[in-house]
Amino acid sequence: MAEVDIRAVPHLAAAAGPVPDISLVVPVYNEAGTLEEVYRQSAAALEPLGRSFEIVVVDDGSVDGTWEIVRRLHLEDARVRGVRFKRNFGQHPAMHAGFVRARGDIVVTMDADLQNSPADLPRLVEAVAAGADVASGRRRGREDSWGRTLPSKLINGMLRRFTRVEISDFGCAFNAYRRDAVTPVLGSIGKQKFTKALVLSAGASVVEVDLEHRPREGKSRYSPLRLTRLALHVLAGFWPQPIQWAGVVIGALCATLAFAVVLWGLVYWVANGDFPGLLFLAGLVLGVLGVQGFILALVGEYIGRIQRDVEGRPIYTIEQELG
């Protein structure tokens, strides 16, 4: 199949058959062990609502048999639709592919690792049906290590500051959206890594919904390095003037350190007759180099974005679709 170019802002796709009220978008990558249970629990939670629904599964290049399960579920239940990428492009491009194909007036996003309970689906749907543009999932009693929760708190604080939206959990992928709230930012979803922050920064109204949170099935894919890159992505994507602010901070920090070192050196020299200049100089240089390394990483994020836009590369290519 030819590559699909999705550089332009697409319209939400229309598929054959009646349009459902609810679209559940589930990005998956090597989720063969949990996908069938996700489908079973999701269908059991949505059917009592009396609203029609579809489940759009986006396979982000799995190699463990996940796509075979998607094919079988589609054959057994026409409400299951599938999209398979040619390779692994990442969760957020997969989210974009799901949003493009979702037809419901209410679009719910959910991971397939069963950390969030599909039984909470009705609560998110009803929150949007009651008038909110976004029902933001809020994980209570998180079953994650401090190595995951501490960076998450830092990134949440950054996003609250930059978007000026006071919600507590930007990182939760279990959310419901009014379709009209997603459409204005559809062209940016997949390029940015925080779909919920994008939608809310465009002015959508939001209500937070407490959700059950379980231990993850399998190992988390978010390593400390990946979380650091995620923090840089937040700075580059949601902070309009990071270079200017960084320059101010560097200037103030270096000036303060220089003054302190000179003052300390003079006092030590007068008191002991021996000024340890090389030691303090080394500390100062290392501190400046550390700050410069952070700035270079931030500039690298911008350069990477410019390169992607200039080259006009698609954020994903599709191998096969079902439904």
Residue type, 23: S
Q: Report the candidate in 81, 80, 103, 132 with the shortest Cα–Cα distance to residue 11.
A: 103
pLDDT of 295 reads 77
Give this prediction's pTM. 0.71
pLDDT tens per residue across span 65-102: 999 999 999 999 999 999 999 999 988 899 999 999 99
Average pLDDT along the chain, 323 residues, taken 10 residues at a time: 41 64 97 95 97 97 95 96 95 92 96 91 97 90 60 73 78 92 86 80 90 64 57 58 60 71 74 72 72 71 68 83 91
Give the tokens for residue 148.
């995951």
Give the tokens for residue 67.
């796509």
What is the distance between the terminal CA atoms of the chain, rounded to a whole angstrom?
16
Q: How does DSSP assign 22-49, residue by residue?
A: EEEEEEESS-TTTHHHHHHHHHHHHGGG
pLDDT of 65 reads 92
